A = this chain, B = another copy of it.
């Protein structure tokens, strides 16, 4: 076993336990992976293609820096989540009421498609492509579920505070997640896709669905 552990990247000492060049190489490979996955899909995103995209001469380089394909994919998802969080969180927290925050969540999520056109697509590809008994598969679903649960709880709290109407928070959050992912995939294939417009309309839709009835 040669490659370093991978999970311990965020936290208090991000660069302490690996050198600068190592981190740079990893970032370079992750970026290349995102590019390739968005372009050809998870299934065809082989180490060869990623290495070529990254300007590396051999796939050994990737295996050297990542414990395996799973590990690289974990990093890809983590990177996209980091980017998405950095973009969406301030835009959401800029609002005070729950309906406004919900709208900000939806619209900023779709706005990401214009800022990083490949990131969301790559992540959806990975999340739907990684399957089965692999360690990262379980990890992915666990992480996703955790995120969704957080969202569900926030919605439920707002609902109990009278900010939303009557609906099942879990169903609503699952539906929202699915709706956004579907639009992400649609954007990937449709060059005329208007992300901002779809964001607005999707927000309208969920606003109507969750609004308090007078």
Q: Which residues of B contact A208 (CB under 8 A)?
A: 165, 167, 208-211
Given contacts A48-B1, A58-B1, A175-B175, A182 and B183 within 8 Å (CB-CB): no
> When the two chains form their complex, are residues B141 and A189 in contact, meaning their CB atoms are under 8 A apart?
yes
Residues from chain B with Cβ under 8 Å of A181 in the complex: 178, 182
On chain B, the residues within 8 Å of A51 by CB distance are 1
Contact with B along A165-205 (1 / 0, CB 8 A): 10110011011111111110110010000000010011011
Query: In the complex, which residue of chain B has the Cβ closest to the Cβ of A176?
Result: B179
Interface bracket on A: 35 or more
- A182 near B186 (CB under 8 angstroms)? no
What DSSP secondary structure best describes chain A's contact surface? helix
CB < 8 Å: which of B59, B131, B202 contacts A175?
B202
Report how many copies the assembly holds. 4
Interface presence of A43 (CB below 8 A):
yes
Q: Is B186 a contact of A179 with CB atoms below 8 Å?
A: no
List A residues 29-55 near B (Cβ within 8 Å).
40-44, 48, 51
User: Could you tell me if A43 and B129 are in contact, using CB atoms closer than 8 angstroms?
Assistant: yes
User: Is the pair B183, A179 in contact by a Cβ cutoff of 8 Å?
Assistant: no
List chain B residues, Cβ under 8 A from A41. Answer: 129, 131-132
- In the bound complex, what is the Cα–Cα distance between A41 and B126 (angstroms)? 13
A87 within 8 A of B: no
In the bound complex, CA of A177 to CA of B178 (Å)? 8
Q: Which 5 A-B pairs have the closest CB atoms?
A: A178-B182, A41-B131, A175-B179, A209-B209, A178-B178
A-side residues, CB < 8 A to B, are 1, 40-44, 48, 51, 58-59, 128-129, 131-132, 141, 165, 167-168, 171-172, 174-183, 185-186, 189, 198, 201-202, 204-206, 208-211
